């Protein structure tokens, strides 16, 4: 009912009389008043003026499922959304939903996470209402070895495209899947797989992005879109654009194959062509980052002339 009231108020933009709304929606004036109070508590700025009625002045910066899906216009990405004000990790819930047979494109969103998971066993700091924290369920029809990394590259490209579209900022990708602006980290991607030996059941793409964090909630190596733009960014618009870009790139990938995504990824990469050190646990290798291969592995030419392929790790750009 609250969704219906909101879409009524959004369509009309001007004042609408309580009689008209309650008549159209088949509820009493008292029930309407109660719903309006609840919407106000959720952050919707709705004014009531005697003899004129109700007017929606502004909507809160919350990623409510019906606000996200409203004018999303995707075919399957984000058609089913699970929204939480707080959650331990969106990854864990998306994994459970996948096991229970949730459809492709199912999205789990949280306004904050208490146990946000980063790559290589790290934590992902997820302060409330500041960022975008999501897990997306995909069911690609490809082999386990190649699928996860290509989908990670696909997500990274989609995020950069969406950031450009919404903010005009140039985000870049540091291998494997750090989203950077300048030299500072803006976001990351964590991909988890549920697979048999020869078949992928589903993949969960986890995305964490610093959007409206102010400087004091960021470590020195991190940044946020707000810090870069010096203004708040609409998390809803950015999230919707990320979902649209993921769907477009996923369809491209299904029709044209992994190479089409890898080509786009190269354009956003700030790692290729540079001298790098790649750390994995206590080991590291050093050399020139030549390219990525079809599995998303980084090809590094060592000083000995031998080329090594690295599948995971942290890259330091030497120059």
Residue numbers of the site for ligand BTN (CB under 6 A)?
89-91, 113, 116-119, 122, 124, 133-135, 178, 188-190, 206-208
- The residue among 67 and 178 lying less far from ligand BTN, judged by its C-beta, is 178
Q: Cβ neighbours of residue 300 under 8 Å, at least 6 residues apart?
A: 276, 278, 285, 286, 287, 288, 289, 290, 307, 308, 309, 310
| Shortest reach from residue 190's CB to ligand BTN, in Å | 4
| Shortest reach from residue 123's CB to ligand BTN, in Å | 9
- The residue among 113 and 224 lying less far from ligand BTN, judged by its C-beta, is 113
| Shortest reach from residue 55's CB to ligand BTN, in Å | 36
- The residue among 18 and 127 lying less far from ligand BTN, judged by its C-beta, is 127
- The residue among 27 and 316 lying less far from ligand BTN, judged by its C-beta, is 316
Nearest to 117 by CA among 177, 30, 191, 49: 191
- The residue among 36 and 63 lying less far from ligand BTN, judged by its C-beta, is 63
Q: How many CA within 13 A on the CB side of residue 300?
A: 25
C-alpha–C-alpha distance, residues 127 and 295, integer Å: 33
- The residue among 59 and 242 lying less far from ligand BTN, judged by its C-beta, is 242
Q: What values do phi and psi take at 298, rounded to 5?
A: -90, 130
| Shortest reach from residue 33's CB to ligand BTN, in Å | 38
| Shortest reach from residue 122's CB to ligand BTN, in Å | 6
- Residue, CB closest to ligand BTN: 188
Q: Cβ neighbours of residue 113 under 8 Å, at least 6 residues apart?
A: 86, 87, 88, 89, 90, 124, 126, 133
SS3 88: coil
Q: In DSSP terms, which residues pair with 269 in a beta bridge? A: 173
| Shortest reach from residue 141's CB to ligand BTN, in Å | 24
User: In this structure, what DSSP letter does residue 64 have?
Assistant: -
């Amino acid at each position: 009912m609250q969704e219906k009231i909101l879409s009524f108020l959004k369509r009309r933009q001007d004042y609408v009389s309580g009689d008209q709304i309650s008549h159209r929606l088949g509820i009493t004036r008292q029930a309407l008043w109660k719903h309006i109070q609840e919407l106000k508590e959720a952050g919707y700025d709705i004014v009531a003026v005697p003899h004129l009625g109700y007017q929606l002045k502004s909507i809160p910066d919350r990623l409510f499922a019906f606000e996200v899906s409203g004018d999303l216009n995707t075919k399957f990405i984000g058609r089913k959304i699970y929204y939480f004000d707080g959650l331990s990790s969106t990854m864990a819930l998306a994994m459970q939903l996948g096991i229970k047979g949730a459809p492709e494109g199912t999205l789990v969103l949280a306004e904050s996470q208490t146990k946000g998971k980063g790559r290589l066993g790290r934590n992902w700091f997820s302060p409330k209402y500041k960022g975008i924290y999501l897990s997306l369920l995909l069911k690609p029809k490809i082999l386990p070895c190649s699928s996860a990394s290509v989908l990670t590259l696909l997500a990274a490209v989609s995020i950069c495209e969406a950031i450009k579209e919404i903010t005009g900022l140039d985000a870049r990708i540091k291998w494997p899947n750090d989203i950077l602006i300048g030299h500072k980290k803006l976001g990351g991607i964590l991909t988890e797989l549920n697979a048999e030996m020869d078949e992928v059941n589903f993949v969960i793409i986890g995305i964490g992005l610093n959007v409206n964090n102010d400087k004091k909630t960021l470590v020195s190596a991190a940044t946020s879109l707000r810090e870069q733009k010096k203004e708040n960014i609409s998390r809803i618009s950015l999230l919707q654009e990320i979902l649209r870009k993921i769907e477009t790139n996923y369809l491209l990938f299904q029709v044209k194959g992994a190479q089409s995504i890898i080509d786009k990824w190269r354009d956003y990469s700030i790692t290729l062509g540079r001298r790098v050190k790649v750390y994995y646990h206590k080991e590291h290798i050093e050399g020139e980052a030549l390219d990525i291969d079809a599995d998303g592995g980084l090809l590094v030419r060592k000083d000995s002339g031998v080329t090594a392929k690295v599948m995971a790790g942290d890259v330091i750009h030497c120059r």
